[in-house]
A and B are shown apart, each in its own frame.
Chain A
């Protein structure tokens, strides 16, 4: 399946779901700033990769999948959990990209403008994450079906 946009998915997002993400993201950014001010950048920097977004996004994803199944008259909760596990597998790949982001930011920041360094780091994160995701889809990286692929699993990385 090709990567693409489906803007209709945004219509399913409710205002309180956006609010939860806003509060989670805002809170961890504010807390990271306070930790860096109080305990220094070495300690505060660890929290730049705190799992701020995943708990909210996985919970909402599971809820959406469960609601879809319930509307279809199916009461099983397996699908939602498997979709969330698939999201976690994406997060595992994205976290490797995040190592690249941090490495680039660390090395480039002292020698160029902040905007250029952050842009280069973002390009690095995107490149590494997408590359690993594509390699995994071609079964060259990571064990196939590590997450969300129980024998009965309807959610797969090929078919979603």
Chain B
């Protein structure tokens, strides 16, 4: 039941941010919202209610490294599209490997 609730709240928050980004001009500015804290706000909000603030703060500390991994993910996606001429979908999905390597690498080396 809690998972379904998280799914609905997360979906709504992400959709809201996405709609906001769609209406923004110019496109380079709207692109900022591709890395908006939509999932984080939904998840942290629900975590604060269910597990408490300290649990959520620990999640936020790990998120710092997840966000750094997102930076490398974005740079990889740019490179795949600009240099290797991949279309958006294959570039965006294959670059997830970069995010996983960075995030899991930090977790294994520092956070475990």
Contacts and interface: CB of A to CB of B under 8 A. Distances in A.
Nearest to B76: A88
B83 to A, nearest CB: 10
A141 interface: no
Contact of A160 (B18, B28, B46): B28
The main secondary structure of chain A at its interface with chain B is helix
Contacts of B68: 95, 99
Interface residues of A, number: 90
B36 A94 contact: yes
A1 B47 CA distance: 40
B110 to A, nearest CB: 10
A84 B91 CA distance: 10
The main secondary structure of chain B at its interface with chain A is helix
Contacts of A56: 18
Interface of B: 2-4, 6-15, 17-19, 21-49, 51, 53-71, 73-75, 77-78, 81-82, 85-89, 91-93, 95-96, 99, 103, 106-107, 111-112
Given A46-B103, A98-B70, A29 B26 contact: no
A46 B11 contact: no
Given A45-B60, A105-B63, A106-B60, A52 B14 contact: yes
B70 to A, nearest CB: 4
Given A42-B58, A148-B82, 10 more contacts: A9-B23, A21-B11, A22-B15, A25-B13, A41-B62, A52-B39, A55-B88, A55-B89, A91-B74, A106-B57
